[in-house]
Structure 1
Amino acid sequence: MKPRSPPLQSTCLLDQVRERIRYMHYSLSTEKTYLYWARFFVRWTGRGGNMRHPRDMGAQEVEAFLSMLATERRVSVSTHNQALSALLFLYREVLGIDLPWLEGINRPTQMKRIPSVLTKDEVAGLLAQMDGLAALIARLLYGTGMRLMEGMRLRIKDVDFDRRVIIVREAKGGKDRVVMLPQSLISALRSQMQVARSQWEIDRHAQRGGVEVPHALEMKYPHVGHTWGWFWRFPSPTLSIDPRSGVQRRHHLYEDRVQRALKKAVQLAGIVKPVSVQTLRHSFATHLLHSGTDIRTVQELLGHSDVSTTMIYTHVLKVEAGQTMSPLDSITGKQGMSALR
C-alpha cells in the first residue's frame, strides 16, 4: 500500500504542485518543468474559453494533449515522456487520483542511439582550445566522467586531495558515488580552492546569506551554509536570489558558461562530430573500456544503476576497434585492384 502524503495547505493548483514537489524533495529544475507542463495542460484544454480543473478531466483530455504534442508540435520522445511524467505527478501526487486510465497511457519508446564519442586526440585538441575556469571544469568532467551539474555542484569538502578521490553527492537518482581525482588536475584545483576561499571570506565579512544546503539541513544546523566546507568549489562571481527562500546568496557557477566555451572550442578545433558537455562523459567511459578497465568499474564510476546502460559504450568500441573485417578488405590481388579502378 502506497504511503499517504500530508494534506496540501495551498488552494491554488500550481501552488499545490509546487508544495508537493518540495515535500518530496525534487530538484528546482524538476519543479520548474512540472509547473510548466501543468500550466500548459490546463491552458491548452481550456483554449476555447472553457477552463476546467484537471480533476474534472480524465483520460480523453490527457491523451488529446499528448497527441497534440506528438503530431502538431512534433516534440522529441524525451520531451513527450517528460510531459507525461508531469501529468502523472499532477494526478497521482497532487490531486490524489489513481485511476485505471493512468496505467493505460503508453509512453513513447526512446530510441537507442550510439553516443557521439571523441578520440583521445580530438579530446586533447578540444581542451587545448579552452582556457580559464571553463577549461578546468571541462578537464574535470572528462577526467572523472561526471555530469555537468555534478561538477558544478561540487563543494569544498567533496574533493579529498589526500585520498585522491571526489565524492559526487546526490547524483542522478539521489545516489552518492566516488570517482577518481586526476593527478594532473590537483594543482589547478588547489589554486581554484584559493580563489573560492577569497570569495567565501568576502561573503563572510559582508554577512551575506550562506550557500544553499540540501533538504532541512539548514534548519537543524542554522549556520552550516556559512561554513567553508559547504562552500561551492566553483562559485558564481555574482549573487542571486534563491527562488525558493527569497534569500540573496551565492550560487555555483552557471552551467551555460561551460557550454558556451565548449561550443566555441569545438569550432576552433575543427571537430565536425556533434559535441556537447555530455560527450566528455561518453568519451571518458569509452576510453576507459578501451584501456581494459572492467565494465563494472566503469558502471560504478558513471553511477549507472544497471550495467546494460554502460554496455552501450561497448558498441562504440566494436566499431572503433574494427573487430569485424569488411568483405571488401578481403579482396586481394589484381582482380580486386582492377575492380577498384
Structure 2
Amino acid sequence: MKIIIKPYDDSFVAVSFPEGFNTDLLNAVRKIPKRIWNNDEKIWLVPNTQETLDQLKMNVYNTGLFNVNDEIPDEEQTPLLPEDSTRRMLEILKAKNYSQKTCEVYKKWVEAFLLKYNHRNNLGQKEINDFLTELAVKKHVSPSTQNQALASLLFYFRFVKNENPVELASVIHAKKKERIPVVFSRQEVVSVINNLIGSKKLAAELMYGTGMRLNEVLALRILDVNFDMNEIIVRHGKGDKDRHVMLPQKLVPKIKEQIEAVRKIHQKDLEDGWGKVAMPNQLDKKYPTAAKEFKWQWLFPQANRWKNKETGEEGRWHLDESLLQKAVKKAVLESGINKNASCHTFRHSFATHLLENGYDIRTVQELLGHSDIRTTMIYTHVLNKGAGGVISPLDRM
C-alpha cells in the first residue's frame, strides 16, 4: 500500500493512492475538514496547514495499513508520526534495558517537545536550546529536571532521528540550589511509625531500617528476603541496579508473619484459578509456571485483585505507592511534626543516623545505592555541630 502526499498550490496539499484505496483510507480522508475531491486528477486536496497534515497522517496511520518503516514515494519522505516516533523510542529504550519509569519520563519530555513545535520535520539544535532555556527561564524548573529533559531529547535525536546535536552551549541552565534534606529525629521516627498500622507500618519500618526507597520496598518479593544471610536484595533499583541491604533483626518476626499472610492470600488466589504475578525481564516466557510460584509473590500485595474486563483475567499487584504516601503524611500530622516530611524522609533519616553513629560514608553510599559519593555527601551536615552547636550571645547575657 502506497500513499503520496505532496504540495498542490499555496492553499492545498495533494493526497493520492497509486494502488487504489479501500473504505478505511477513504474514511481517513473524509474525516479531514474542508477536504476536496478533484475528479479530473483523481486526487484529494486537503488544506495546507500543519494541523490538517498531522490529522491526516494520524488518520492514515490508524487504518493499520502502513508500517512505519515503509518507504513513501514522495519527493521528500513524510516524517514519522509523533506516535511512531515515541513508539520507536520506547522500543529502543527497552532494548537498551532502561527502566519502565525512565521510559515513561523520556516519552513525556519528547512528546512535550514535539507538541511545542507542532511536530515540524526540521527540528534540531536551535529548538532543543530554546526548549531547554524556556524550562529554566520561564518555567523555573530544577537543574535535575532540565537535565532529565536534555537526556530525553538527546536520546530521541541520536537513536530515533539518527542525528547528533552537539552545539548546546547557548542553553541557559537552571541554577543549581543546595537543599538540606528533611530528617526525622529518632523520637520522631518512633512517633510516625507508631501512628501507622499493618503492612504500612512494616513498610515504613523497612524504609527507615534499610534506607530503601518507597518503590524499592513495595517491589520486594518473597525471594528477596534472605533470613540466613540477614540481608534483603534490592532488585532493579534506581539505574536498574541491584544491591544488598541489612535485614533489621527487630523486623524478622514481623516479616515472617507478613510472609505467612501473603501465603494465605496466594493460596486463595490459586484456588480461585489465578495467582500469577508480573515477572521481571519477561521471565514468564522462559519459565511459564514461575509466575504462580510463591517465592515470586509480592511481600506487600494489594488488598484486591485487578481484573481485565475484556479478558476476564485477574491478578494481583503490589501495594500502590499513593496509599503508603497518604498513610505516612497522615501519621506525620498526627505526630504533631511540623516538617515537610514524606516517605523519602525515612531514607534521609537512615543515612543521617548511620553517620551520627560513626559509620563511614562509603558504607552509607553502598547501602543507599549511590553511584557518586557526592550524592551521599549531602548527609555530612551531621558530622559537625552547625548552627545548632553554636551558643547564641543572647543566651550568655
Common fold: TM-score over 0.5: yes
Q: Is the 8 A contact 1:9 1:16 kept in 2?
A: no
2:4 alignment counterpart: none
1:75-124 deviation digits (Å, cap 9, x = unpaired): 33332222222111111122221132258757535323221111101111
Instruction: Give the letter aligned to residue 218 of structure 1.
Output: D
The CA RMSD over aligned residues, in Å, is 2.6
How far 1:266 sits from its partner (Å)? Answer: 1.0
- After superposition, the Cα gap between the structure-2 partners of 1:304 and 1:250, relative to the gap in structure 1 and judged at 3 Å, is same
Residue 24, structure 1, aligned to residue 96, structure 2: yes
Q: Quick one: which of 290, 295, 300 aligns to 1:234?
A: 300
Residues in 2 aligned to 1:9 and 1:34: alpha-carbon distance in whole angstroms? 22
3-state SS of paired residue (1:178): strand
1:328 alignment counterpart: 393
Q: Quick one: which of 237, 254, 268 aligns to 1:202?
A: 268
Residues in 1 aligned to 2:372 and 2:261: alpha-carbon distance in whole angstroms? 38
- After superposition, the Cα gap between the structure-2 partners of 1:306 and 1:75, relative to the gap in structure 1 and judged at 3 Å, is closer
Residues in 2 aligned to 1:313 and 1:326: alpha-carbon distance in whole angstroms? 23
Q: TM-score, normalised by structure 1?
A: 0.84
- After superposition, the Cα gap between the structure-2 partners of 1:9 and 1:141, relative to the gap in structure 1 and judged at 3 Å, is farther
The structure with the larger Rg is 2
Taking the TM superposition and a 5 Å limit, the aligned residue runs for 1:143-222 are 143-208=209-274, 210-222=276-288
2:320 alignment counterpart: 254
How far 1:45 sits from its partner (Å)? Answer: 0.9
- After superposition, the Cα gap between the structure-2 partners of 1:159 and 1:88, relative to the gap in structure 1 and judged at 3 Å, is same
Q: Quick one: which of 305, 321, 332 aligns to 1:266?
A: 332
Which stretch of structure 1 is more off in the superposition, 137-146 or 17-26? Answer: 17-26
Residues in 1 aligned to 2:69 and 2:319: alpha-carbon distance in whole angstroms? 34
Q: TM-score, normalised by structure 2?
A: 0.73
Question: How many corresponding residue pairs?
Answer: 315
How far 1:209 sits from its partner (Å)? Answer: 6.5
Residue 42, structure 1, aligned to residue 107, structure 2: no
Q: Is the 8 A contact 2:140 2:174 kept in 1?
A: no
Tell me which of the two structures has the higher relative contact order, counting C-alpha pairs closer than 8 angstroms and 6 or more residues apart.
Answer: 1
Higher helix share: 1
Instruction: Give the letter aligned to residue 187 of structure 1.
Output: P
1:52 alignment counterpart: 120
- After superposition, the Cα gap between the structure-2 partners of 1:115 and 1:99, relative to the gap in structure 1 and judged at 3 Å, is same
3-state SS of paired residue (1:179): strand
Residues in 1 aligned to 2:335 and 2:86: alpha-carbon distance in whole angstroms? 46
- After superposition, the Cα gap between the structure-2 partners of 1:80 and 1:307, relative to the gap in structure 1 and judged at 3 Å, is closer
* Identity score, percent: 42
Q: Is the 8 A contact 1:148 1:277 kept in 2?
A: yes
Instruction: Give the letter aligned to residue 331 of structure 2.
Output: A
1:69 alignment counterpart: 135
Taking the TM superposition and a 5 Å limit, the aligned residue runs for 1:290-329 are 290-319=356-385, 325-326=390-391, 328=393
Q: Is the 8 A contact 1:156 1:231 kept in 2?
A: yes
3-state SS of paired residue (1:100): coil
1:121 alignment counterpart: 187
Q: Structure 1 regions of 5+ residues with no counterpart?
A: 1-7
Residue 95, structure 1, aligned to residue 161, structure 2: yes
1:25-80 deviation digits (Å, cap 9, x = unpaired): 2222222222222111111112xxxx413xx2111111222222233333333322
- After superposition, the Cα gap between the structure-2 partners of 1:9 and 1:212, relative to the gap in structure 1 and judged at 3 Å, is farther
Which stretch of structure 1 is more off in the superposition, 24-33 or 180-189? Answer: 24-33
